[in-house]
Amino acid sequence: MSKQEIVMPQMGESIQEGTLTKWHKKVGDKVEREEIIFEISTDKVDTEIPSPASGTIVEILAKEGETVNVNAVVAILDTSNSATSIVEAPIKQIEPAQLSQPQPSHAIPESPSQKVAASPLARKMAHEHDLDLSQIQGSGEGSKIVKNDILNALQNGKISPLIAAAAAQVAAPVFSAPVEHIKNSGGSTEGIVDGVRVQRVPMTAMRKKIAEHMVMSKRTSPHVTSVIEIDLQKIVDLRNKFKDKFEKTHGFKLSFMPFFLHAAIEGVKTVPIINASVDGDTIVYKKDINLGVAVALDWGLIVPVIKQASEKSFVGLGRELNNLAEKARLKKLSPDDVRGGTFSISNFGGFGTIIGQPIINQPQVAIFGIGAMQKKPLVINDAIAIRTTCHCVLSFDHRVIDGSDSGKFLSTVKNVLENWTIPIM
């Protein structure tokens, strides 16, 4: 028998572990190369992992819900041609040395609900509350059921027949419980604390990692945030003029983000220390500009990376961003897609926020934030005009970046956007 090990992939430079959230296959199942076999969750990404080869799964070494070190073996694949049928064996526990503090398992049994498109968190919540996913309307991408759909179903009483029958016989009021009983990490619990009805829902593995990473970043870098206002009217007019032709020619919609990406790249070229990192008492200047662009998903935040961004055309930047965002939403990001970022961009303006203070994505030393676009009166050549503007910010590590550096970067971004000369077709 020819064996091949299936390992926990590394989904980013700083990622040392991942939580195996779901198995799509079991021992004895045959799989094809690139067929999805399990899902993982880290602080950078929730994604589906394909099989590295064709064969039959002969051993599973990590259960659903367990947190496993990067490169630890999670399954064994028999890739020999003679492998035809294998008797299913019980799941074998991975060695403790390969695991990092396993989390409680929340494996979901096979049911009709399994056929419904749902995020891992939504599926877990539905299992905990005995909800039938097939009776819930999804509001996510492609009608996928997300966390808010589950919360709405619970609030509106869309529960499974089993729970409904029980509820018809016995009323289930919110119970009063001591705080120590409510702090249950194994699932959602309800109770009353200081006279207030509460519901406690454990963080997902991804949310825990995001929390740890953000706290570590604030502890590591003295954060300072600078703000600049930018007149975007020229960009707005340009996009309105060419957006239909652009989509017809290139096959994807023309958003405002490629304009900001290009302007940020020019800012980095002007102030190279923006694209650096700190190693002890040494500043490491990065010669490549790899832009990490935050993508908000219903189950967390992912930062895929546009590699060699300074070498791409305007259309190339837009196409790469569009492809990475789509892969993120479909959980198709590869380890390389989230690795190697040197500078990050957060478009919190997409949700209406005018000004924000983004937290630096360590080990980087700065992050660029884009606020909401809004029309307002501006003085142009001593006359008042209605223009589309936005506020952009730079949060930076004051250990190595000064206010003057931040000012030069933001001024460069402003100049590029207000005096746009780059061909967009």
Model pLDDT for residues 264-310, shown as the tens digit of each residue: 999 999 999 999 999 989 999 999 999 999 888 776 778 899 999 99
Of residues 269 and 162, more confidently modeled: 269
**132: how many CB neighbours lie within 10 A of its CB?**
18
- Looking at residues 134-148, what average pLDDT do you find? 76
Supply the DSSP symbol for 50. E
48-52, 223-227, 387-391: segment of lowest average pLDDT: 48-52
> Is-above-0.75 flag for pTM?
no
**Tokens encoding 181:** 């009983």
338-379 tens-digit pLDDT: 889 999 999 999 889 999 999 999 999 999 999 999 999 999
Residues with catalytic annotation?
Answer: 398, 402
* Residues 142-162, mean pLDDT to the nearest whole number: 64
pLDDT for 390 equals 97
Contacts (Cβ under 8 Å, ≥6 apart) of 319: 250, 252
Q: Residues 221-418: name the CATH superfamily.
A: Chloramphenicol acetyltransferase-like domain (3.30.559.10)
Residue 388 has pLDDT above 50, yes or no: yes
Average pLDDT, the chain: 81
How far apart (Å, rounded) are the C-alpha atoms in residues 393 and 391?
7
pLDDT at 115: 67
For residues 295 and 304, the answer to whether their CB atoms sit within 8 Å is: yes
Q: In whole angstroms, what is the distance from residue 116 CA to residue 252 CA?
A: 28
Is 22 strand, coil or helix? strand
pLDDT digits (tens, 9 = 90+) for 292-304: 998 887 767 788 9
Number of H helices, E strands in the chain: 9, 21
What is the average pLDDT across 403-422? 97
Is residue 245's pLDDT more than 80? yes
| DSSP-derived secondary structure letter, 118 | B
pLDDT tens per residue across span 59-101: 999 999 888 888 899 999 998 864 333 334 343 333 433 433 4
The token duo for 77 is: 């694949």
The pLDDT, as a whole number, for residue 341 is 94
- Quick check: helix, strand or coil at residue 64? coil
146 SS3 class:
coil
3-98, what's its fold? Answer: OB fold (Dihydrolipoamide Acetyltransferase, E2P) (2.40.50)
* H/E stretch holding 179: helix 179-182
State which H helix or E strand residue 211 sits in.
helix 205-220
Q: Is the pLDDT of residue 136 over 90?
A: no
Residue 394 confidence (pLDDT): 98
pLDDT over threshold 70, residue 114: no
Per-residue pLDDT, 365: 97
Q: pLDDT tens across 164-175, in order?
A: 333 333 333 333
Range from 71-85, 140-154, 234-248 that averages highest in pLDDT: 234-248
- What strands, in cross-sheet order, belong to the sheet with 73-78? 3-7, 73-78, 55-60, 30-31
Distance CA 139, CA 336 (A): 30
Task: Give dist(CA 409, CA 350) in Å, integer.
Answer: 22
- Which class is domain 112-203? few secondary structures
Rg over alpha carbons for the chain, rounded to the nearest Å, is: 25
Domain spans of the chain, in order of start: 3-98, 112-203, 221-418
Alpha helices by DSSP H, 88-171: 120-128, 147-156, 161-169
Confidence check: pLDDT of 2 > 60 = yes
What does the pLDDT read at residue 156? Answer: 65
pLDDT over 70 at 163, yes or no: no
Q: How many CB atoms lie within 10 A of CB 295?
A: 21
Which residue type does 9 have? Answer: P
Give the model's pLDDT for residue 180. 38
The residue among 35 and 388 whose pLDDT is bigger is: 388
